Amino acid sequence: MTEGRAKVEGGVVLVGSFLNHQLDPQLMMHCAEEFARVFKDSGINKIVTIEASGIAPAIMTGYLMHLPVVFIKKKQPKTVDESWKSRVWSFTRDGETTVCIAKEFLTEKDRILFLDDFLAEGHASGSVIHLCRQSGAQIVGMGFLVEKGFAGGGQFLRDHNINYHALATITRISEDNSLEVA
């Protein structure tokens, strides 16, 4: 079933049936096709995502656009000697963590498209902005499967002059936990 639902407390949207626990590959491909269409003429040379639920749509978009996909890691791997680092608040995990990306995979030559599952308050997006400032990479655009339109992340990106596209926008979570989508 490809349908999100709300959890009683805290504005949590459950998408485990098609995105972050079980994947719907056909839906992910349709999402990738839309991202590729929207950003096709942007001069992007790399797609970046953050572990973990943004990986599937990022890989499929990279496949369609013939671009490499780089993961921002939530823990410094032993295989990476030098990396750019940033702190990010995780709504899902209810805590802050340090994320990193290898310096060799994010450089001043890169024009990136950042893809992620959700845009809520913009914490992950802010860490990507910080990583790109460190490396000199240019953010060409950001894409999200779902935007929580009531959470402020869209305004955060507009304030930072970031071109972004959300495939679905939740405008409200009702008292009965149903989702209103624009």
180, 161 in Cβ contact below 8 A?
no
pLDDT for the residue numbered 24: 83
Q: Which residue has the higher pLDDT, 116 or 95?
A: 116
Is beta strand 95-102 parallel, antiparallel or unpaired with respect to 83-90? antiparallel
Q: Domains in the chain, ordered, with CATH? A: 28-171 (3.40.50.2020)
Reported as a single tens digit per residue, the pLDDT across 116-153 is 998 989 999 999 999 999 999 999 999 999 898 888 99
pLDDT at 182 over 80: no
Residue 142 and residue 114 in contact, taking contact as beta carbons nearer than 8 Å? yes
- Say whether pLDDT at 99 is over 70: yes
Ramachandran class of 135: left when φ > 0, alpha when ψ lies in -120 to 50, beta otherwise: alpha
Residue 1, pLDDT score: 40
DSSP string across 86-144: EEEEETTTTEEEEEEEEGGGS-TT-EEEEEEEEESSSHHHHHHHHHHHHHT-EEEEEEE
The residue among 120, 66, 127 whose CA lies nearest residue 99 is 127
- At 8, the pLDDT band (50, 70, 90 cuts) reads very low
In the predicted model, what is the mean pLDDT of the chain?
87
pLDDT above 70 coverage of the chain, percent: 81
Percent of the chain with pLDDT over 90: 60
Tokens coding 141: 């655009």
The pLDDT of residue 6 is 54
Residue 19's pLDDT band, with cuts at 50, 70 and 90, is: low
Average pLDDT rounded to a whole number, residues 111-117? 96
